Amino acid sequence: MMRDTILRRAMPGIFALAAAFAVGGASSTAMAQEQEQYFGIPSSRVGPYSAMGTGYYGGIIDYLNYVNMKFGGVNGVKLTYDECETEYNAARTVECYQRLLNKGDQKMVVFDTLGTPGAYAVIGRMATDNVVLAQYGYGRTDAADGRVWPWVFNAAGHYWGQIAVKMNFMAQKEGGVDKMKGKTIVHLHIDTAYGREPIPAMREIAKEWGVKLIEIAVPPPGLEQQSQWLQIRREKADWVTFWGAGSGMNSTAITTAARVGFPREKMMYVTFGGAEEDMIPAGDAAKGTYVAANAAPGKFPLIQDIEKVVYGAGKGNMQNPQRVGTVYYNRGVGAAVMWVEALKNAQRIHNKTGKTVTGPEFRDGYEALDITDDKLKEIGILGMSAPFKMSCAKHDGSERFRMMQWDGTKFVLLTDWVPAPNPAFIRKLIEDSAEKYAKENNLPVRQCS
């Protein structure tokens, strides 16, 4: 049953500011003019996927706190939020969406489910409710076509681009694409929309390369995989792409692969299955595992400043501060950075500097995101996140990933930000899929210049 209580928290400084006004005899009119921007946060801090949720949403909340504490908000607009626990469950995500949508006379402008099942569950409501669905590296891939999905964005790449980067990395390890002919790749995945999401692109690439693709599902939460790995051994797989969720499922894959003798140097983990919390429980067996990253781990300048400003004041959201700078945490910070940059754009575009923006105005700000290397350096996350530029039609962000490998104690970055080898091929898959969906559901297709 859904928890009745939503965790309500105001950003540091709001209540102190109100008290100062009261002591100073400020009028109620002055208080009423104070501007706030409200964000709904559907966290997942409990259950089998808690390692993802605590790190990701901890990073988001820390960055919102940081902006208030360091800069006094966004051009004077304070950032507030309500948090609702979903347990990474699609039905509960819908309930949280409904609960978080409005807070008094404020309305949330962005929703980030962290998971693909939750994104699929609410994606149809965005246009009606005027809320941006910010799929930060997950979710429905063909929503990257802004002509069909004007309210959905993916600022850190999507699964079709990611699988193309990973398969190309395999080809490089094998000596070239021509060497992939006749190879066997197993896509071992959790049996949810998330696990199935890369399959359309995988099938097309495998067909073009002459690769034998075998798709093997694991029922959630994925803590029993013995039969699947025995099948992988029987098939004499050359590579395994692992699409898991939760540290339990992800570490189980590593230890089970070790038991059946499958080399970890032939395993490639998805972004949401490849974090420190997924590797460490597997111990020495995890050494050599490859991971695609859309947010690199490390103490980048912004992360260091968050530690100084937020944790230095005892306001950090992470129960274990040692997780600051890890993969899940940095990914959450990167997601919140995009919210704030979109808010800045919205204020500028609509001549509302220092004022709260509406959902449609925030959407315009998101579509205007232009995150250059210079901007990343200015923010303090150059190298942690990839540069990208949105447009009316293109809602898929960077489309670049860094390959890294677990050395037994930490991730070693192997590449810079790498795009899909044939972006036009991936884009055509996206547009064909989006146009088909629009036709089947009688949806309008925007005209984008």
Give the model's pLDDT for residue 33: 59
C-beta separation of 376 from 265 below 8 A: no
C-beta separation of 79 from 10 below 8 A: no
Residues 110 and 184 in one domain: no
pLDDT at 126 over 60: yes
The neighbour count for residue 439, using CB atoms within 10 Å, is 11
> Higher confidence at residue 176 or residue 14?
176
Measured on CA atoms in the order 16, 17, 19, 23, is the torsion positive or negative? positive
Residues 436 and 309 in one domain: yes
Does residue 406 form part of some domain?
no
C-beta separation of 297 from 411 below 8 A: yes
At residue 155 the predicted structure's pLDDT band, cuts being 50, 70 and 90, is confident
In 3D space, the residue among 358, 352, 349 whose CA is nearest the CA of residue 130 turns out to be: 358
Does residue 449 form part of some domain?
no
Indicate the burial class of 178 (C-beta count within 10 angstroms; 0-12, 13-18, 19 or more): exposed
- Measured CA to CA, the distance from residue 255 to residue 241 in angstroms comes to 16
Domain of 32 in residue numbering reads as 7-157+301-401+426-440
- Measured CA to CA, the distance from residue 18 to residue 229 in angstroms comes to 59
Token code pair at residue 19: 């008290």
Q: Of 260, 293, 326, at which residue does a domain stop?
A: 293
Indicate the burial class of 157 (C-beta count within 10 angstroms; 0-12, 13-18, 19 or more): buried
Give the model's pLDDT for residue 399: 87
pLDDT digits (tens, 9 = 90+) for 288-315: 999 999 999 999 999 999 999 999 999 9
Give the model's pLDDT for residue 5: 38
Does residue 318 form part of some domain?
yes
Residues 29 and 148 in one domain: yes
- CATH code where residue 195 lies: 3.40.50.2300
Give the model's pLDDT for residue 14: 42
Does residue 416 form part of some domain?
no
- Cα-based angle 155, 160, 163 (whole degrees, multiple of 5): 110
Give the model's pLDDT for residue 375: 98
Residues 389 and 330 in one domain: yes
pLDDT at 449 over 90: no
How do beta strands 290-293 and 267-269 pair? parallel
Does residue 359 form part of some domain?
yes
Which H helix or E strand runs over 15? helix 14-23
Q: How many residues are recorded in the chain?
A: 449
Does residue 2 form part of some domain?
no
Residues 15 and 140 in one domain: yes
C-beta separation of 24 from 344 below 8 A: no
pLDDT digits (tens, 9 = 90+) for 338-383: 999 999 999 999 999 999 999 999 999 999 999 999 999 999 999 9
Mean pLDDT of the chain: 93
- Measured CA to CA, the distance from residue 109 to residue 91 in angstroms comes to 21
pLDDT at 10 over 80: no
C-beta separation of 83 from 6 below 8 A: yes
Q: Of 267, 293, 319, at which residue does a domain stop?
A: 293
Residues 16 and 150 in one domain: yes
Residues 124 and 256 in one domain: no
Residues 365 and 330 in one domain: yes
Q: Of 239, 266, 293, at which residue does a domain stop?
A: 293
Residues 359 and 391 in one domain: yes
Instruction: Name residues whose C-beta falls within 8 Å of residue 231's C-beta, 6 or more positions apart in sequence.
Output: 216
Does residue 408 form part of some domain?
no
Residues 134 and 242 in one domain: no
pLDDT at 69 over 50: yes
Q: Please give the model's pTM, rounded to 2 decimal places.
A: 0.91
In 3D space, the residue among 413, 181, 171 whose CA is nearest the CA of residue 274 turns out to be: 413
Residues 127 and 89 in one domain: yes
Domains in the chain, number:
2
Does residue 413 form part of some domain?
no
> Which amino acid is residue 394, in one-letter code?
K
pLDDT at 3 over 80: no
pLDDT at 30 over 70: no
- Measured CA to CA, the distance from residue 449 to residue 392 in angstroms comes to 8
DSSP state at residue 10: P
> Which amino acid is residue 65, in one-letter code?
N
Residues 352 and 283 in one domain: no
C-beta separation of 39 from 81 below 8 A: yes
pLDDT digits (tens, 9 = 90+) for 182-208: 999 999 999 999 999 999 999 999 999
- Measured CA to CA, the distance from residue 79 to residue 66 in angstroms comes to 10
At residue 78 the predicted structure's pLDDT band, cuts being 50, 70 and 90, is very high
For the segment 329-342, the average pLDDT, to the nearest whole number, is 98
pLDDT digits (tens, 9 = 90+) for 158-187: 999 999 999 999 999 999 999 999 999 999
- Cα-based angle 244, 249, 252 (whole degrees, multiple of 5): 120
Give the model's pLDDT for residue 341: 98
Give the model's pLDDT for residue 301: 98
**What does each C-alpha distance from 216 to 174, 190, 231, 254, 270 come to in angstroms?**
23, 9, 9, 16, 15
